[in-house]
Amino acid sequence: MVSSFNRIASGQFSRRSLSFRKPRVFITMPCKCWFSLSVNGFIAFCSLVSFSSIIICVCLIFFPNPGHQNGVLELMDSTSECDFFNGSWVLDETYPLYNSSECPFAERGFNCLVNGRRDRDYQKWRWKPRHCDLAQFDVHSILGMLRGKRVVFVGDSMSRTQWESMICLLMTGVEDKKTVYEVNRNKITKQIRFLGVRFSSFNFTIEFFRSVFLVRPGKPPRHTPKRVQSAVKLDVMDDFNKRWIDSDVLIFNSGQWWTPGKLFKAGYYFQVNGTLKLGMPIDIAFRTAMSTWASWVKTSINTNRTHVFFRTFEPSHWSSSDRKFCKVTRYPMTKTSVKGYSVFSDIVSEVAADVKVPVTVLRVTYMSALRSDAHVGKWSDTPSVLDCSHWCLPGVPDAWNELLFSYISAKFA
Ligand SMILES: *[C@@H]1O[C@H](CO)[C@@H](O)[C@H](O)[C@H]1NC(C)=O
Ligand SMILES: *[C@@H]1O[C@H](CO)[C@@H](O)[C@H](O)[C@H]1NC(C)=O
Ligand SMILES: *[C@@H]1O[C@H](CO)[C@@H](O)[C@H](O)[C@H]1NC(C)=O
Ligand SMILES: *[C@@H]1O[C@H](CO)[C@@H](O)[C@H](O)[C@H]1NC(C)=O
Ligand SMILES: *[C@@H]1O[C@H](CO)[C@@H](O)[C@H](O)[C@H]1NC(C)=O
């Protein structure tokens, strides 16, 4: 609780104190005459006074509301002026931030331009929170900040997209692209369970572990109905979990695989405590899995070192429930036509608020829901199959990473 408050305060603080840098430089400058010294002294005094009042203000903003300090690092509770996740997309000609064709880690399937998309507006939107601006993406400062660190993404293909996006964003600041490589020289494929990209001149890696449920799928108990091919053990973490512990930034997602089509129709059923739960509804199962995840964070992760994120559900824009039809629009949707929530995102936020460990929920559901223009559509590597779930790169996942960078800048600065 205390540490999460400190992080909020220092995040706010460093941004606001920027304007006081000048006077402080003044004071430390050697001064030859008494007059200028006293003028400088006066300026310093004034700075000190305004500086203290800002500290007091920040305290007043946060202390009267202890109910919000529930261990979830949220820079945007109702009392603060800025909610990172409530805002709009604004056109910005400086976007996109990279070219996928020049990034060896952007998979072909997400490179919509190369796959025939003609309109380019979808690449030019910047996420703008309502009452503040995100820090402009500064690749050199982020590269410096990540030196010696380990960044780990865990989740489904949406996590892989974000992993690719982060690598491509950061590679724009690397002169010799050959110094960035996959540690096992693997190619990116959909089924691969581990990918690790090393930025050797900066001594850090950005890794991806495929774990679509986060909890462990496995063999069902004996004597089960034939339709049960696999059991998702909701009370046991995925067997890769030990490799996630020793990290500095750890980003989870889950949700896309929690559907009847991907579960029951494919023979996956839930299991708790060694017992199959054939009739368990998906939302209850997801909540159970998230509780397992949360207790794992609590017992296995040293949150002093590791900044844990959960990025919430990425909405898709299908126009039929069988996921066969959809139309990628030219422009983002207007806010009135958007259902900006998902039961999966709500559950994650609730569970995270309950666990009393500092995890940051990146609530990207609403901002992404506006982006019916940003899906892969027919511009994937298999054009016969429409895709209104995955996103083009560059695109929406870059904005998720910009949000992530804002948080880790506050922590590692
Ligand atoms: C954004 O803030 C406005 C005003 O407080 C509120 O009405 C709206 O529901 C918020 N939207 C989201 C997505 O949080
Ligand atoms: C991206 O890079 C490729 C290869 O260098 C180039 O042909 C293409 O024009 C670039 N695209 C954009 C939008 O700049
Ligand atoms: C690279 O990072 C690791 C882990 O932080 C550290 O132990 C090691 O000393 C670093 N190596 C160099 C050459 O800086
Ligand atoms: C699992 O079993 C243990 C002991 O048998 C019990 O205490 C616990 O409540 C059970 N958990 C669930 C989720 O059923
Ligand atoms: C984390 O930091 C707090 C406060 O500095 C300290 O009391 C605690 O022992 C640390 N925990 C670990 C696991 O290092």
Answer whether residue 28 shows pLDDT above 60: no
47 falls in which pLDDT band (50, 70, 90)?
Answer: low
Q: How far is CA 67 from CA 278, 353, 393, in A?
A: 38, 11, 39
CA distance 71 to 349: 12
pLDDT in tens, 66-102: 333 333 334 444 445 689 999 999 999 999 999 999 9
Q: What residues are in contact with ligand 4 under a 6 Å CB criterion?
A: 272-273
Q: How far is CA 338 from CA 259, 347, 368, 399, in A?
A: 21, 20, 10, 18
84 in ligand 1 pocket by Cβ < 6 Å? no
- The residue extents of the domains of the chain are 2-68, 87-412
Residue 203 CA to ligand 3 centre (angstroms)? 6
Q: What is the mean pLDDT of the chain?
A: 85
Residue 148 CA to ligand 3 centre (angstroms)? 5
Using CA positions, which residue lies closest to atom 9 of ligand 3?
A: 148
CA distance 4 to 75: 10
What pLDDT does 188 receive?
Answer: 95
What pLDDT does 324 receive?
Answer: 87
Tokens standing for residue 163: 């992993």
pTM (2 decimals)? 0.83
pLDDT (average), residues 270-281? 96
Whole-number percent of the chain with pLDDT over 70: 80
413 falls in which pLDDT band (50, 70, 90)?
Answer: confident
The number of beta carbons lying within 10 Å of the beta carbon of residue 343 is: 14
Ligand 4 atom having least distance to the Cα of 235? 13
Please name which ligand lies nearest the alpha carbon of 88: 1
Pairwise pLDDT comparison (31 vs 290), residue with the higher score: 290
Residue 265's Cβ-side half-sphere holds a number of Cα atoms within 13 Å equal to: 6
Residue 134's Cβ-side half-sphere holds a number of Cα atoms within 13 Å equal to: 27
323 falls in which pLDDT band (50, 70, 90)?
Answer: confident
Answer whether residue 18 shows pLDDT above 70: no
What pLDDT does 29 receive?
Answer: 31
What pLDDT does 322 receive?
Answer: 85
Q: How far is CA 253 from CA 250, 260, 338, in A?
A: 10, 19, 22
Answer whether residue 411 shows pLDDT above 90: no
Ligand 2 atom having least distance to the Cα of 100? 1
